Amino acid sequence: MWRDGVLVAGKDLRIELRSRVVLNQVAPFSVVVLVLFALALGPSRAPIAQAAPGLFWVTLLFATVLAVQRSVAVESTEARDGLRLSGLDPAGIFLGKTAAVAVELAALEVLLGAGVLLFYGVHVRSVATLVAAAVFGTLGLAASGTLYGALAGGLRVRETLLPFLLLPVVAPVLLAGTRAWQAALGQGSTGTDPWMALLVVFAAVYLALGVVLFGPLQEAA
Amino acid sequence: MTVAPWSRRTTLVVRAVGIAALVSVVATLWLGIWVTPPDQVQHDLVRLVYVHPPIAWVALYLAFGTAALASILWLWRRTRSPMWDRLAASAVEVGAVFTALTLVTGSIWGRPTWGVWWAWDARLTSTALLLVMLLGYLALRRVPGDPDARARRCAVAAIIAAVDVPIVHFSVVWWRTLHQGATVLNANLSPTIHGSMAWTLLLGFVAFTLTFVWMLAQRMRIETLSQQLEGAELDEALQERWAEGAPAAASAPARAGAAEAAP
Residues of A in contact with B140 (CB under 8 A): 151-152, 161, 165
Residues of A in contact with B135 (CB under 8 A): 164
Which residues form the domain of A173? Answer: 2-220
Count of structural domains, chain A:
1
Domain boundaries, chain B: 12-184+194-237
A220 to chain B, any CB pair closer than 8 A? The answer is yes
Per-residue pLDDT of chain B (263 residues; tens, 9 = 90+): 455 677 888 888 888 888 988 988 888 888 877 777 776 666 677 777 788 888 888 887 888 889 889 988 888 878 788 888 888 889 999 999 999 998 888 888 877 877 777 777 777 888 888 899 889 899 888 887 777 888 888 888 888 888 888 888 777 777 766 544 444 444 444 445 566 777 888 888 888 899 999 999 999 888 888 888 888 888 888 888 888 877 665 555 544 444 444 44
Spatial CA neighbour of B25 closest among B46, B3, B50: B50
Using CA coordinates, name the residue in chain A closest to B177: A190
- Calpha distance B194→B183 (Å, rounded): 25
What is the average pLDDT across A54-81? Answer: 85
Report the pLDDT value the prediction gives residue A61, as an integer from 0 to 100. 93
DSSP-assigned letter for residue B37: P
Residues 175-214 of A with CB under 8 A from B: 175-176, 179, 190-191, 194-195, 198, 201-202, 205-206, 209, 213
Report the pLDDT value the prediction gives residue B169, as an integer from 0 to 100. 78
Report the pLDDT value the prediction gives residue B57, as an integer from 0 to 100. 82
Report the pLDDT value the prediction gives residue A221, as an integer from 0 to 100. 54
Q: What are φ and ψ of residue B43, in 5° steps?
A: 55, -135
Give the model's confidence band at A60: pLDDT under 50 very low, under 70 low, under 90 confident, else very high: very high
- Calpha distance B112→A117 (Å, rounded): 44
Could you give the count of Cα atoms lying within 13 Å of A173 in the half-sphere of its Cβ? Answer: 33
* Among candidates B129, B156, B170 on the partner chain, residue whose Cβ is nearest the Cβ of A217: B156
Report the pLDDT value the prediction gives residue A59, as an integer from 0 to 100. 92
Report the pLDDT value the prediction gives residue B256, as an integer from 0 to 100. 46
What is the average pLDDT across A21-31? Answer: 84
What is the average pLDDT across A39-59? Answer: 85
Provide CB contacts within 8 A for B189, sequence distance 6+: B49
Residues of B in contact with A213 (CB under 8 A): 156, 159-160
What is the average pLDDT across A115-144? Answer: 86
Q: What is the ipTM of this complex?
A: 0.82
* Among candidates B132, B160, B168 on the partner chain, residue whose Cβ is nearest the Cβ of A209: B160
- Calpha distance A127→A132 (Å, rounded): 9
In CATH, B12-184+194-237 is 1.10.1760: no
3-state secondary structure at position B143? coil
* Alpha-carbon distance B127 to nearest alpha carbon in chain A (angstroms): 11
3-state secondary structure at position B115? coil
* Alpha-carbon distance B177 to nearest alpha carbon in chain A (angstroms): 10
Report the pLDDT value the prediction gives residue B42, as an integer from 0 to 100. 67
pLDDT greater at residue B119 or residue A161: A161
Q: Write a three-state SS string for B183-245.
A: CCCCCCCCCCCCCHHHHHHHHHHHHHHHHHHHHHHHHHHHHHHHHHHHHHHHHHHHHHHHHHH
Following DSSP, what letter does each residue of A8-76 receive, concatenated? HHHHHHHHHHHH-HIIIIIHHHHHHHHHHHHHHH-SSHHHHHHHHHHHHHHHHHHHHHHHHHHHHHTS-
Report the pLDDT value the prediction gives residue A48, as an integer from 0 to 100. 84
* Among candidates A147, A165, A220 on the partner chain, residue whose Cβ is nearest the Cβ of B136: A165
For chain B, the distance separating the N- and C-terminal CA atoms, rounded to the nearest angstrom, is: 27
Provide CB contacts within 8 A for A170, sequence distance 6+: A61, A64, A140, A141, A144, A145
Residues of A in contact with B161 (CB under 8 A): 169
pTM metric for this prediction: 0.80
Highest mean pLDDT pick, A21-30, A135-144, B4-13, B60-69? A135-144
Chain A contact probe: residue of B124, B153, B159 with most A CBs at under 10 A = B153
CA distances for A200 relative to A81, A114, A134, A180, B171, angstroms: 33, 24, 11, 12, 13
pLDDT tens for A80-115 read: 777 777 777 888 888 888 999 999 999 998 988 888
Chain A contact probe: residue of B141, B152, B154, B165 with most A CBs at under 10 A = B152
Q: Are B158 and B92 in contact (CB under 8 A)?
A: yes
